[in-house]
Structure formats: C-alpha cells, structure tokens
Amino acid sequence: MNDRTDIGLPARAAALDILSAALARRSGLDEAIAAPAFGALETRDRAFARALVMATLRHLGPIDKALDARLSKPPPERVRNILRLGAAQAFLMEVPAFAAVATSVDLAGAGRESRPFKGLVNAVLRGLLREPPKLDDPEALAPPWLLARWRAAYGADAARRIAAVIAGEPAADLTLRSPELAAELAEALEAEILPGGTLRTARRGDLSAWPGFETGAWWVQDASAAVPARLLEPGPGQRAADLCAAPGGKSLQLAAAGAAVTAVDRSADRLKRLKANFERMGLEVSAVAADAGAWKGEGAYDSVLLDAPCSATGTFRRHPDVLWAARPGDIASLAGVQTRLLDAAADLVAAHGRLVYCVCSLEPEEGEAQTAAFLARRSDFVLEPMRPGEGGAPEASLRPDGALRILPFHLEGGTDGFYIARFLRQG
C-alpha cells in the first residue's frame, strides 16, 4: 500500500465503528459496512477503513499480546480498539509512524470516553514503534480456545498451520458458468486454474470492471465452497434442491450443469440477491423463502445439497471476525440445528438419489459427528465415499471413510475450511 498521510480522521472513525461492531456481535462487521453512514464516505475512505479493520482482525491476537505487555490494566474497550487500529496502521498498512500515532491520539480525543486516555494512546503506540512486535506468530493468531480445539482435533502441527493462514489476505476465487472457457478467462483475469476448474486471481478492485462480469461468465466463490455441488454430479434432466442456499453460489453451479434447481432459504432478502445473481448469469431457478427444516418440497429430488448454518470458523480468511465473535456455546447449539436440517433434507431425496451435507466449519461436532449420528439414525442412507481429488478437493482432505475434511492449508495460498459428506439413499 502507498503512503496514507492523505487519509483523514473520518476514515479512521469509520474503522473504529466497524471494528467495535465486529467484536461485539456476530454479523456486526457486515451490518456496520452496510450502514448509511459508512456508505456516505468517499470511496477511498471506505476502502481504507475496510482494509484497516480486516488487517486488524487478521492480526488481532498478536496485536493484543503486544498491547497487554504495555498496559498495566485493561483500558475501556473503545480505547483498546483505537490502540489496535493504531498498531495495525503502523505495522500492517505502511502508514508513516507519525501519522499512525497522531491520528490515533486525535481519534481518542474525539470521544468523551476515550479523551482522558490520549496520553496513554500516545505512549503505548510510541513504545510499540521502539520495539516492533511480532504479528505473525501462529500461536497468537487464533483465539486460545479455538486453537486448543484444533490441536485436539487435528494435532499440534496442523493446528499451527491452520492458524498461520489467518494472517494472509486471500486471493479472489471464481467459479465459471462454462468450464470450457477456463483458459481464455484465466488469461484475461491473470488467474491460475485450480483443480476442479476454479480460477484464482490476485486482482483487486471493482469486480464489475473485470473481464467476464457483465456477460455473467463467472461468480465469486471460494475454491472449497465450489466442491460440494460438483460432488452431486448434476446434469440435464435432474431435479436438485439447494437448502440454506443464499447467496446462491452452489445453486448457480447446479443450474449451470443443467439441473432444474429449487433454492430454499429462510431469508427473503438474501433470496433477492440470489435471484439477482441468477439474472446476471442468464440461468433459471425456483427460489423459495422457507425454513429448510420445515419445507416439504414438491416430490422427491435426485440431488439435495445442505450447506447448513454453522460456526463458520473455516471462513476466517475472508471473514476474520468470525474467530473473535464465536463462542464455545455456539457450536453445541448449532449442532442441534444441523441435526434437524439434515433429517429434513434426507426426506427430500429420491430413492438412489444423493444428499451432500457440508459446513464451512473446522469443528468436528458440526462435521464428522453429524455424519456418524445421521447414519446411526437413518438406515436408508449410506455414505458414498469420494475419490481422491474428486470435485477439485485437495487429496490431503480425503478422510479414511471417504468424506472430506478440507483444512485451510490444504491448498497453496489457502482455502476455506470445510467438512463435506455425500450420502446415497438406498431403494
């Protein structure tokens, strides 16, 4: 990034609001970015504020560790957030040191609660500049309770490798409507073609200006998120149901392969976005606003895909806030929702049809444990093992039982963490 001395206090104040919302509650970051006050900022201020918050969240653990070493007692949360943003500016955003400190002091002075702490902000940040902290330590990048869970599930080395991915800014992954155009679009977008056909590009900026956007040649979808729909092997003449479908990337994959798709989501607003995506692609979908756990469908479906609500801990590359908004109790409560939805999804599957269950979570209770319990409940289903590399999944992700456990380091450059199981309904 270039010298940021021309970015003023409004951008930093917006970053403070966004960071505070992101750490206060799940979905807080998205809500703050969607707020009218943020949208009213100049384009460059919005871009700076968002980049600053994301850099802070990706390095929050090490930043807090460095701050705690210089604080005799915890300051008010607003002051801590100002310090966090100041450290991120100085060490991650290439903001000149004097500007990082001065604007942080000004930001503290702009709030009644933080005004008495202007001297503290100045002293702490200047201290950090004298002894720059190490901000890429995997042991500090993840919340301790999550790192402990990953150690227990995958071993100490794998847990460190998962955590190391947190600090990286991800490239853009694109799924193609017509796979035969992969080479042409890869050249136009300066992208590499990943296993399965996903394009990965380091391009930044306005997506609508990229080659192929206007013609609906591709949509944004993480490489891991593109795997589940491929495992259904959809095609013309098949009826497919995508449950908890919005924003619709997997539905688009099913439709692009020729299947007649019904996309179900409980949020009518999110379905509007899904339908807009289908219109841009020139594809058809039947969109239904309903609770997937209560929806009975219209007959049986050859393919059913359930991307169940989950803790989303596997999506930290693009959504680092999920790591800090998640709580241990979330996992158990979400597991109950997943069980209900999985049983409802199973009832929609035709004899000899397929059901793919997936979650963008790294937590075994939401993945492996769900599969084991489902097979114990439903004798009419069997696990249909995946082949090595099937669907574009990294070979390292294949479990002994044939399900997939994609870890973020399984793909060079990183990928979302996913659990994916494919079931076959017996006649």
Helices (H), 155-259: 156-165, 182-188, 227-231, 249-256
Torsion, Cα of 266, 268, 272, 273 (10° steps): -50
Is residue 349 within 8 Å of residue 239, measured between CB atoms? no
- Token pair for residue 160? 């460190």
- Token pair for residue 36? 């009218």
The single residue of 244, 310, 358, 360 carrying the catalytic annotation is 360
SS3 121: helix
Which residues make Cβ contacts (< 8 Å) with residue 226, sequence separation at least 6? 173, 175, 196, 198, 249, 250, 253, 391, 392
Q: How far apart are CA 77 and CA 86, in angstroms?
A: 14
Query: Is residue 274 packed enough to be buried (19+ CB in 10 Å), middle (13-18) or exposed (0-12)?
Result: buried
- Token pair for residue 334? 């979400």
Q: How far apart are CA 200 and CA 80, in angstroms?
A: 36
The overall longest dimension of the chain from CA atoms, in Å, is 73
Is residue 311 within 8 Å of residue 326, measured between CB atoms? yes
Instruction: State yes or no: is 310 an active-site residue.
Output: no
- Token pair for residue 273? 């976005």
Q: How far apart are CA 252 and CA 218, in angstroms?
A: 10
Selection from 384, 390, 383 nearest residue 406 by Cα: 390
Residue with tokens 């100049």: 42
Cα 256 off chain centre by: 23
Query: Is residue 155 packed enough to be buried (19+ CB in 10 Å), middle (13-18) or exposed (0-12)?
Result: exposed
Q: How far apart are CA 315 and CA 313, in angstroms?
A: 6
Any idea which residues carry the catalytic annotation? 360
